[in-house]
Amino acid sequence: MRIYVPATVAGLRRLLETGQLQPLSGTAFALTPRLREAYASGDDEELEYVAMSEAARASLRLLSAELAEDPETPPRRAVVSADVDDVTLRPDLDDAVVRVSGPVPMSRLAAVHLDLAEAADAVRAAAAVVDAADLGDPDAEFTLGEAEDHELAWYGVQELPFVLQLL
């Protein structure tokens, strides 16, 4: 199953150091049967994009915590896609949520998706209000939308060391 794991730049650096990706609490997102049922239409590619978008929003939550600790943290959403076999569906959490049983080795990674520099201001602002947006604050939701208007760039896993070096 293709999964989408929310991450941050710090998490990507740890991935390079350790050779494996450790999803926080094992949480990832995927095209699950429940997600498919939630949409009246949409092919697999469109629904995979929905799952990746959910992971990008979760990345904002991770980034919010990192920015609170260190304001110099690069304000970039990151999502790592991987192909794994051992997942548990978690419809009690959300339609696209899955749990992975442990770290995902580098060999299972498919791609890295990362914000470009032009998204930094919008992402920083969104990270500051992501919790309020989740609680229904319309102004916060608008701010979140500004960040989500920026598409994540796609990178091959082999490009990750070079991409991080340029940040």
Q: d(Cα 38, Cα 142) in Å, to the nearest integer? A: 23
Tens-digit pLDDT string for the chain (167 aa): 999 999 999 999 999 999 999 999 999 999 998 998 888 777 889 999 999 999 999 999 999 999 999 999 999 999 999 999 989 999 888 999 999 999 999 999 999 999 999 999 999 999 999 999 989 999 999 999 999 999 999 999 999 999 999 98
Q: What is the pTM of this model?
A: 0.94
Q: How many CB atoms lie within 10 A of CB 155?
A: 17
Whether domain 2-154 has CATH 3.90.210: yes
Domain ranges in the chain?
2-154
DSSP for 98-154, written as a single string: EEESSPEEGGGEEEEEE--GGGHHHHHHHHHHHHHHHTT-HHHHHHHHHHHTSPPEE
Hey, how many other C-beta atoms are within 10 angstroms of the C-beta on 146? 14
